[in-house]
Amino acid sequence: MAYPSLDKLQKVLTEEVFHYAKDSKKAAGRALGTLVEIITFYAIKSWGLERNVAIERALPEFGNDEITHNVEYSLHPSTPIFTANFNRSTLPITSKKIAKNEALTKLDIPKESLKSTSLLSNDLILRNSCTVCNLQDSFINAYLHQLNKDEGQYSVAKLHRRPFAVFECKRVGVEEGMRKGPQTIEKAKQGAYVARTVSALQKIRLTNGSIGGLIQKNDGSFRHDDYYNLMAEIIASNDPELLSRFILTIGIVSNHGNWFTSENHNKELKVLAQSYDWLLFLTDNGIAQFIDELLFHPVKELEPVKNAFLVSYTGEKGVNQFTKVQISLEADVALQSYFKTHSKVIEGWFNIIAPAGKSLAVLKEELNTLKNKDWQRIHI
């Protein structure tokens, strides 16, 4: 790694980018958190799951819809509705414009449910996973395909309200003179609580210290087994009773100074490892390489990423074009290309904390299996 630690890298960001801020170290820490979210998002996109992604949606607890939790990314059963071409001169592409398509007018969408969002703005800021409107058990999202000199194309899909998987990112910086961030255990508890309460598949601690799985069927009976055996059975199944309210939970943690390593777990990492179905550790080397190649020393093709980052962090409000929600189109194109051409290297940035002995290839296979289920039959 070009820097001794991620905290040293944070100091470089503090001095070179965030010197204007009142608390420049905290500002740099928040930017590092955004970078972790962006790495996660573009990894998901590179795995072919973009048309299933929703961002920061409220997720109800299993069996208790009165309590919801916002998660960074959720993956939902997705049904394509239409693909549309547009002329560049007709920008912005707003939710109201999208809703005028004949395929959506047939749905009799209430005007009050339409979002005041733009998939693509006049100044070419892209809204990732742009929600057009919410319906009772589903919502409509739009996704940009491409934009050339004169024309562009986007697609619209109907996503089921209940996801089949969720991703959450957790990172806490280290304060000066301290071994780890004071909020680390609270962040771990928050993530653990959400991970253990959203899915129909419940974790139970057995007397021998292992973790069992329990899921209730419609007739009131229970299925139980070793947690990961039962989880694998559910994912491979086509049984609506097992799948309809099952959610695969994935956590992404970062910063060795806080969470230690995949081989040396502290309490916080153990709490998360026994709560999420999958816990991935984004290494210091991975984040450092990402920052160095895209922000500090980018090749010409990656200059738009650096520009979008620097424009977003000037101390002015309303200029951010480098977040998981909205990003400059040029930066998005550059990032998609980077993640496609560096896929093997990027996958090496993630250490698998849990399940023990599993690889990232297994997670990708599980997500793809869930994506391709006959969800219309399952959710009848």
pLDDT at 108: 86
> What CA–CA distance (Å, rounded) separates 115 from 132?
5
pLDDT at 193: 92
Which range among 227-236, 258-267, 277-286, 313-322 shows the weakest confidence by mean pLDDT? 258-267
Given a cut of 90, is residue 17 above it in pLDDT? no
Q: Parse the chain into domains and list their residue ranges.
A: 6-51+165-282+347-378, 78-160
Q: What is the mean pLDDT of residues 144-171?
A: 94
pLDDT at 292: 87
pLDDT at 305: 93
DSSP H helices in the chain: 6-16, 24-46, 95-99, 102-105, 184-197, 227-236, 240-243, 256-259, 267-273, 284-291, 303-312, 329-341, 343-347, 360-371, 375-378
pLDDT at 258: 55
Q: What is the mean pLDDT of residues 148-175?
A: 88
For the range 57-62, what are the long-range contacts, defined as Cβ-Cβ under 8 Å and sequence gap of 24 or more? 57/163, 59/163, 59/166, 59/194, 59/198, 59/247, 60/198, 61/197, 61/198, 62/197, 62/198, 62/199, 62/200, 62/202, 62/245, 62/247
DSSP at 1: -
Residue percentage of the chain with pLDDT more than 70: 90
Compute the mean pLDDT over every residue in the chain, rounded to the nearest whole number.
88
Q: What is the mean pLDDT of residues 52-68?
A: 95
Number of other residues whose CB lies within 10 A of the CB of residue 301: 12
Number of other residues whose CB lies within 10 A of the CB of residue 197: 18
CA-closest candidate to residue 144, choices 132, 131, 127, 158? 127
Output the CA torsion 307→312→318→323 (10° steps): 100
DSSP at 207: T
Identify each DSSP E strand in 41-186 by its residue range: 53-61, 64-75, 78-87, 93-94, 118-120, 125-127, 130-134, 138-147, 151-160, 165-170
Check residues 149 and 316 and name the one with the higher pLDDT: 149
pLDDT at 183: 57
> What CA–CA distance (Å, rounded) separates 357 from 15?
40
pTM surpassing 0.85?
A: yes
Q: What is the mean pLDDT of residues 51-56?
A: 96
- 3-state DSSP call for residue 268? helix
Which range among 85-94, 241-250, 314-323 shows the weakest confidence by mean pLDDT? 314-323
- pLDDT of 208-230, one tens digit each? 988 999 999 889 999 999 999 99
pLDDT at 317: 73
Q: What is the mean pLDDT of residues 307-319?
A: 80
Given a cut of 90, is residue 203 above it in pLDDT? yes
- Cβ(262)–Cβ(235) under 8 Å? no
pLDDT class for 261, splitting at 50, 70, 90?
A: low
Given a cut of 90, is residue 374 above it in pLDDT? yes
Q: What is the mean pLDDT of residues 342-366?
A: 94
C-alpha gyration radius of the chain: 21
pLDDT at 56: 95
> What CA–CA distance (Å, rounded) separates 346 from 364?
14
Given a cut of 60, is residue 177 above it in pLDDT? no
pLDDT at 363: 98
Given a cut of 90, is residue 62 above it in pLDDT? yes
Which range among 104-108, 327-331, 361-365 shows the weakest confidence by mean pLDDT? 104-108
User: First-to-last CA distance in the chain?
Assistant: 51
pLDDT at 47: 97
- pLDDT of 32-47, one tens digit each? 888 999 999 999 999 9
Which range among 177-191, 227-241, 365-379 shows the weakest confidence by mean pLDDT? 177-191
Q: What is the mean pLDDT of residues 120-140?
A: 95
β-strand partners of 114: 133
Sort strands 138-147 and 130-134 into parallel, antiparallel or unpaired.
antiparallel
pLDDT at 270: 81
Residue 301 parent element (H or E): none
pLDDT class for 134, splitting at 50, 70, 90?
A: very high
- Cβ(271)–Cβ(354) under 8 Å? no
- Location of structure tokens 């849990």: 354
Phi, psi values for residue 194, rounded to 5°? -65, -45
- pLDDT of 70-118, one tens digit each? 999 999 999 999 999 999 999 999 999 999 999 999 888 888 899 999 9
